[in-house]
Amino acid sequence: MKLKLPFYLFFSSLLLAGLNTLAQGVEGKIKEEATKYEQSNAEFMMIEAEKFFLLEDFERALAYLDKSIEVDKKNHAAYFKKAEIYLGKNKPKEGLEAIKEAINIRSNIKYYYVLGAQLAKANRDMQEASRFYQLMTENTTDYKPYLVELATTFQATGKQKDAIIAFESTENLTLDQSMKLVEMYVQESKKRKATELMEKLIIQHPSDSDLKYQYANLLNTLGETELAIASLEAEPNKTAEMRILLSNLYEGKGESSAKYDLLIESFGDPEASLTDKTLLLGQLILENSTDLPIDLIDSLQTSLENQYPNEALAVENGTYVYTKLAEIASGNQRDLFQVKAINRYKQLKELKPGDFKVWDKVLSYEYNTGDWQALSADADEALMLYPNQAIFYIYLASAKINLNEPDEAEDLLNQASRMTRSNELLTSQILGKRAEIAEMNDQIQQASQLYQQALKLNQIHPETSISYGKFMATHNVITESTETISNRFTVGEKDLKDVYQRALALYSSDKPAEALVLLLSNIHTFEDNKDGAAMELYGDIYKQLKLTDIALKYWVKAKEFGGASDKIDQKIASEKND
C-alpha cells in the first residue's frame, strides 16, 4: 500500500521548490547588479583620478587610482596610470611595479611595454628596458612606431641582430626607420645590404637632398671614395653639406685644384645660399690654416659681401676670414687684413648693436692702435649698452687720458674700480692708469704710491709694468715696491748675475714686462757697477715694449760702460736713423 503525502505537505514542497528557484534568481540578479555597481564605482574613481592628474595633484590622483583598484582588482588601466604618474615623479621603481601588474592583467597592449621600457631606462637598467621591448614584439602587434627606440635599446644591450630581425620583419618602414636599419647594417658589416637599401630609398625619395648626401657619406665610410665623389659630382643641386663633403674628399685625394674649382663654382651658383657659401669658405680656412690661397679667399669674401651687402652674416664672415688671413700674412698685407677685419667689426656694430663681442673687438682694436678720438666716441656709446662692463670704462678713461681730459678719466676709473674689487689684474691696470693721471698733473709722489699699490698685488697687468718702467726711467726714482716685486721673482737670490740671467730668460721667452719688473729694483745698482750687458738688456726690453727713446738711452749707456754685445752700435744707429 502506497503512502500518500498529506496535501498540505505536497503543497509545501511545491512552494519550497518554487521559493528556492525564486531565491536563486534573485541572488544571481543581486550579484549581477553588484558587479555593475563595482565597475561603475571603479570607473568613477578613474575619472576622479584623471581629473586630479590633469590638475597636477598627483597624490590625490594616486589615492583615487588605489581606490579604483580596490573595487576592481583587474583594473589594468589604473595600474598603467599609476606607472605613468610615478615616471613623472621620478620614482621608476614604484612605476615598474605598477606597470608589471598592468601587463600581468593585459599582456597585449603595446603602450604598457613602451612605458615599462621608459621606466627601466629611468631606473638605469637598459637590460630590463630591452626585455620590455622584446616582450612587446612577442605579445603585441603594430609596434612599428617604436622600432627606432627598440633598436637603440637593443644596440645598447648587445642585441643589435635581434633589432635587425624586428626591422626586417616589418613592412613599409618609414624613412627614419630605414636609415636606422642602414646604420645597423653598417655596424654589422653588412655593406651590400646597407648600400642596396640606400639606393632603394633614393629611388623612393628622388628629391631628398639629405638622403643623397647620406648615401655619398656612406660610400665614403665603406671605402668607396671614387663612387662617393662620382655621386656628388653628378648631383646638379648640391647642398652645402654635399659641397663640404666633396671638398673633403678632394682634399683626401690631394686634388687641391678640384677643391678650389668647387669653391668657385659654389660661389657662382645662384641656388647656393649665403649660409652655404660661408660654410664652404670657413671649411677651406680650417682645413688649410697655414697654407691658404690668400688671394682666392680675399676675392671670394669680397664677392660674398658684394652679393649680400646688408647681411650681417656676410660681414661677420669677413671678420673671421680677415682675422685668419692677418694671422698668416706678413708686412703690409697683414696690416691690410687687420684693417679689413676691424672695418667689418665696425660695420657689425651698426648691424648687430647688441653683440658684446663686436663692441669688445672694436674698442680693443682702437685701444691697441691708439685711435683715441674713435675710442672715446665708441666706448661712450658702448657704455650706454653695457653700463656694467669695467673694461669699457678703462678703455674710455684711457682715451680721455690721451686726449688730455684727466678729470673725466679719473671719474671713469673710479667707476671701473667699484666693479673690479675681486679682479686683481684689472685693479692693477686701473691703479696704473690713475698713476699716469697723477704723473700728468706733476704729482710724482702720488704716482709712485699708486704704482706701489699695483705692484703689491698678486697679479700685475702688463701695461702697468710697462708704464711703471717708463715712469722709473723718466723720473729716475726707486721705490719700496720695486724691491717687493723683484723679491717675488728672486726669492733667496742676492746675486745680481742671477737676477740678470733670470731677466734675460724672461725676455727671451717673450715676457718683456715681467723681465722689466724683475730688473727695476736693481737698475741703480747695475748703473753704479757700470754693467754694460745689463744696460743693453734694459734697452732691448724697452725696445720690445715700443719705448724707443728710453731704449736708446740705455743702449748708449751700455756702449759707454763696455761689456755689451757686438750689435750695440747697430742698435744705436738704427734707432737714431729712425
* Pair (293, 373) in one structural domain: no
Residue 64 is assigned to a structural domain of this protein: yes
Question: Distance between CA atoms of 35 and 38, rounded to whole angstroms?
Answer: 5
List CB contacts of 417: < 8 A, sequence separation 6 or more: 427, 430
Residue 416 is assigned to a structural domain of this protein: no
* Pair (52, 115) in one structural domain: yes
Sorting pLDDT into bands at 50, 70 and 90, what band is 3? very low
* Pair (548, 468) in one structural domain: no
* Pair (559, 450) in one structural domain: no
Please name the amino acid found at residue 463.
Answer: E
DSSP 145-198: GGHHHHHHHHHHTT-HHHHHHHHHTSSS--HHHHHHHHHHHHHTT-HHHHHHHH
Q: Angle at Cα 474 formed by Cα 470 and Cα 476, nearest 5°?
A: 110
**Regarding predicted confidence, which is higher, 211 or 523?**
211
* Pair (445, 463) in one structural domain: yes
* Pair (452, 493) in one structural domain: no
Residue 245 is assigned to a structural domain of this protein: yes
Residue 226 is assigned to a structural domain of this protein: no
The reported pLDDT for the residue numbered 35 is: 56
The reported pLDDT for the residue numbered 190 is: 93
pLDDT for 123 beyond 50: yes
* Pair (446, 504) in one structural domain: no
Q: Are 282 and 253 in contact (CB under 8 A)?
A: no
Which CATH number goes with the domain that contains 566? 1.25.40.10
Among candidate residues 148, 172, 196, the one where a domain is terminated: 172
Residue 146 is assigned to a structural domain of this protein: yes
* Pair (292, 165) in one structural domain: no
SS (H, E, C) 299-339: HHHHHHHHHCCCCHHHHHHHHHHHHHHHHHCCHHHHHHHHH
Mean pLDDT calculated for residue range 5-17: 38
The reported pLDDT for the residue numbered 122 is: 94
Mean pLDDT calculated for residue range 75-103: 92
Compute how many other C-beta atoms are within 10 angstroms of the C-beta atom of residue 296: 14
The reported pLDDT for the residue numbered 115 is: 95
pLDDT single digits (tens) 510-564: 877 777 777 776 777 788 788 888 888 888 888 887 778 888 888 998 888 888 8
pLDDT single digits (tens) 223-266: 899 999 999 999 888 887 888 888 889 888 888 788 888 888 88
* Pair (336, 367) in one structural domain: no
The whole-chain average pLDDT of the chain stands at 83
* Pair (571, 487) in one structural domain: yes
Q: Are 460 and 485 in contact (CB under 8 A)?
A: yes
Mean pLDDT calculated for residue range 479-494: 43
* Pair (247, 347) in one structural domain: yes
Question: Distance between CA atoms of 546 and 285, rounded to whole angstroms?
Answer: 32
Mean pLDDT calculated for residue range 461-467: 82
DSSP 2-33: -----HHHHHHHHHHHHHHHHHHHHHHHHHHH
Residue 333 is assigned to a structural domain of this protein: yes
* Pair (134, 254) in one structural domain: no
**Regarding predicted confidence, which is higher, 518 or 272?**
272
Which structural domain range is residue 517 located in?
478-577
- Report the b/e string of 367-378 with b at 16+ CB within 10 A: beeebbebbbeb
Mean pLDDT calculated for residue range 115-139: 94
Q: How many domains does the chain have?
A: 5
